[in-house]
Structure 1
Amino acid sequence: MRHSVVAALVASFLLLLTYPVWSAQTQPAQKATYAGDAVCKACHAAQFEKFSKTVMGKIFASNPRNDLEKQNCESCHGPASEHVAKGGGKGVGIPVTFRKGTEESATAQNEACLACHQRGVQTYWEASPHAGRGIGCVSCHTIMEKTSDRFQLAKVDDKTPFFNKRAQTEVCGQCHLQRKAVLQRSSHMPMREGKIACSDCHNPHGTPNPVMLKQASTNENCYSCHTERRGPFMWEH
């Protein structure tokens, strides 16, 4: 009996000795918190100034539509307290980064965008061919500065004069090189003249059909502009 009591006391003592280590190992990691856009601006003044001139920058600063948009920079990058605590640095302590050469996956970047842009024309994005091929929102759109009048389209340094009319054609032409080349034929869709754009017929964010037509069929797509061709005609073909 005496030996049992001593053994129990020794076991209890050893348990107390190991408790601090065990407790430290089981404590959940402290979650990052929002640092505030003033803290971001203190180090990233140039980027902050450029972003403030974009549509998103103006909305976040003056008319946020929800609690997430009130966080400004951290609406997209995530809580930055860890980034600040570690003294900053590219990609250090930032939940989501969009810079060139980052190891961040397109899926992770897109999730930040889809937190707000998941309805309307973006409804079918996750099932679209572009998403399936690892295309990121920032492959076509820019975030930190205004580079086009509409859609925040990414800047493309293309010297070819045929493609200065529509920034949208330039962006799509980054990948769709064959389609871009076809526009140089004598007979072509009037895209190089700036009369139509790729998105007049396609929704690059995805649609229920495999070629991302905005309408249910090719004919319906054409009838969107060429209504006089819809009929009925006196002599149907």
Structure 2
Amino acid sequence: MRILQTGYHFLSADMDSIWLSDPFKFISHYKSITIQGQTHKTTKLSGGFVLVHATSEGRKFWREIILCQQQNLARIRTEKNSKRVISDLTEQECINNRLHTIKVKLLDPYLFPDGRSFFEQQLPQRRGIVPAVIHGNWIIGLDAKVKRFQAWDLLASTNNSCKLVENGIPYHEHSQKTSIQLRIRVLTYNRLQSLERLLQSLQTTDYLGDSVALDISIDRPSPQATKEEKKAWEKVVAYLGHGNRNASKFR
């Protein structure tokens, strides 16, 4: 709290995080943001890498987190025999329960991956992205974490003092070249111009070598549809094609 009060941003990072490069190159400096951090399960924030901005909102928010942690600690001490899951009483839960009250920035999950997306799903590797910070979570036990880091050549030392690594910690590129199978489903009716804009956008998108399948479904006019609606619908059908005789105009 003293760090925030003196005007410096406050960074909290778990000990099982590996820094491959300077993460501050990817941090937003907008003062309107109260907190930013590693993405957890798409919409939540992970406690593995959290940056609180030294603003009035940031200081107020972190006071609430400290109070929440103090209350949780008191609960743990008084509920020793309780079957309540301890993970429900962590700093991460304190933060996520209050995210709706502040402006949050979730960091790029490819640059700040968690243990599952990096070691198991290997999502950054498939995109050819070298992460800035890898959180070594999604595995239980210190020994298991150490062995996994060693298997990926991401551990400089297992002693109390790390040896100097002149060329940085080696990084294993993903050895498999299997692309991700994507399927895009488009639902349309009678708005041809909107459909054309969408399809043009899909055509110009860089899918990074992944395989993409496109499904387009056209809704049929209801019996109550006006003549104008039906004519507009027929234009969409003519544009996309119908059967072997009516080839699609979309290329």
TM norm. shorter chain > 0.5: no
Which structure features the higher share of helix residues? 1
Which structure features the higher share of strand residues? 2
The structure having more radius of gyration, on CA atoms, is: 1
TM-score (norm 2): 0.27
